Structure 1
Amino acid sequence: MNSLHIMLGSPDSRQHTMPPLKEQDYYIGVDKGALLLAENGYYIDLSLGDFDSITDAEKLIIEKNSKKVISFEPEKDDTDAELSLVYAMQFFDTEQIILYGWSGGRLDHLMSILMIVMQPRFKSIVTRLIFINQTNTLKFYLPGSYLLFKEPDKKYCSFIGMTPLSNLTLDKGFKYTLDNKNFDYPIALISNEFVMEEGRFSFDSGLAAFIQSKD
């Protein structure tokens, strides 16, 4: 399975998780995320952003360690995170798109990143997106039935209805189960736990997020 790894520019180094280095994978660095990759020995397939928080010396480091660099004006309609996904859709055909460096900074930045999945233009890649930081793994699901596996280092799991959900079912693999429950509004069902190594969940309409977390 090949992956596209996108390093965003969170200012909080405590939340930085570095992607694995794999020959078959691709790497996008976004603004300060590009600098972080470059300084840690990654050769970046695409670096992009307005680079408004980057010095000239740091920009040179990014350019020396990138196959391609695209700079934007700070005043633009799309955020750097949105632009990274636009380019991901256009130029990288991978099974997974894994995002890092998305948490720990401004709350408005975090909200804008998480709400990306609500935009119709990104619907085709929603189920390929994975958000990872030091304590969380976040994935999104369209209607269907899914077998989920517990991450060994994570204690909690949460189901988030990004939209209303119909017939949400959580089987006996989870501590708190549900049987065809309807929610007419977005809902956060947090602090559930696996009681087995795997559990199945299903729903018939809406958009759901699944988070595995540790303290």
Structure 2
Amino acid sequence: MRIIIVAAGPSEEVPLLKPFLFENTRVIGVDGGIATLVDQGIDFDLAIGDFDSLGHIPTGAILHPAEKDETDLELALRYVYEHYEVTELLIFGATGGRIDMTLQNVYLLKQFPEARLVTKQADVRFLPEGRYEIEAEQYHYLSFIPLVSTVLTLCGVKYPLMEQTVPVGGSLTVSNEWTRQRVADIRVQKGEILMIRSLAD
């Protein structure tokens, strides 16, 4: 099942959502993300959170206390994985505002690796060891941020690598680009990375 989660981050970071609403898509609003959905005229199937950002509790919502050990987004992700067979999961409204929340939301991708975090400018996903074919789609840049020292092979890109060890904190793998084929062959031979596709400036 295809799941869209809209969290409570600034609405200006959220693209138009209707193009993402395919058949058999479930839409989940997380706290203030409900306001973003309402502003875009999109119905939601479920609301989850403590609703301190929204200011009221939607009918039928799953309510959590304001003082808790997890963020509303993490609780929503856990709920999704417990109740749906997920084939694709897109998270919106998880960036902007407080930098601690943005970073934590990005790192949630490691716990929920099928998920993608989508903004107006970028698409972020977590890649553990394995081989991946990554299409450019509308994006121009392709960047890789290692979470640990990572051995990486990149083909089908402007700046290829062959079994290159990429350290944490280095900038070697930032702002790569696709070649004409517009499909990159990515191999994470050791380690783990965040992959970011982003639009041209």
TM-score, with length taken from structure 2 = 0.89
Q: Distance in 2 between matches of 1:148 and 1:157?
A: 9
**1:105-154 Cα shifts (integer Å, max 9, x gaps):** 11011011112234xxx3xx41x1111111001122121111111123x2
- Runs of 4+ with deviation above 6 angstroms: none
Residues 39-188 of structure 1 mapped to structure 2, 5 A cutoff: 39-56=39-56, 59=57, 62-63=58-59, 68-118=60-110, 122=111, 125-126=112-113, 128-152=114-138, 154-166=139-151, 168-171=152-155, 173-185=156-168, 187-188=170-171
**Superposition deviation, residue 198 in structure 1:** 1.1
* TM-aligned CA distance change 1:212 to 1:109, over 3 Å: same
Q: Which amino acid aligns with 2:4?
A: H
SS of residue matched to 1:204: strand
Do 1:8 and 1:33's aligned partners in 2 also have CA atoms closer than 8 Å?
yes
**Superposition deviation, residue 186 in structure 1:** 5.6
Confirm whether residue 209 of structure 1 aligns to residue 194 of structure 2. yes
Q: Distance in 2 between matches of 1:200 and 1:55?
A: 46
SS of residue matched to 1:190: coil
Do 2:8 and 2:53's aligned partners in 1 also have CA atoms closer than 8 Å?
no
**1:163-191 Cα shifts (integer Å, max 9, x gaps):** 2212x1111x1111111112354655211
Do 1:162 and 1:187's aligned partners in 2 also have CA atoms closer than 8 Å?
no
Q: Which amino acid aligns with 1:161?
A: P
Q: What CA RMSD, in Å, does the superposition of the two structures yield over aligned residues?
A: 1.8
**1:83-110 Cα shifts (integer Å, max 9, x gaps):** 1111011112121110001112110110
Equivalent residue, structure 2, for 1:15: 13
Q: Distance in 1 between matches of 2:39 and 2:133?
A: 38
Q: Distance in 2 between matches of 1:187 and 1:30?
A: 34
Higher helix share: 1
Do 1:163 and 1:186's aligned partners in 2 also have CA atoms closer than 8 Å?
no
**Superposition deviation, residue 38 in structure 1:** 3.5
Do 1:4 and 1:97's aligned partners in 2 also have CA atoms closer than 8 Å?
yes
Range moving further from structure 2, 137-146 or 99-108: 137-146
- Percent identity over the alignment is 29
* TM-aligned CA distance change 1:53 to 1:146, over 3 Å: closer
* TM-aligned CA distance change 1:23 to 1:146, over 3 Å: closer
SS of residue matched to 1:75: coil
Q: Distance in 1 between matches of 2:178 and 2:167?
A: 26
Q: Distance in 1 between matches of 2:123 and 2:109?
A: 15
Q: Which amino acid aligns with 2:31?
A: D
Q: Distance in 2 between matches of 1:181 and 1:157?
A: 16
TM-score, with length taken from structure 1 = 0.83
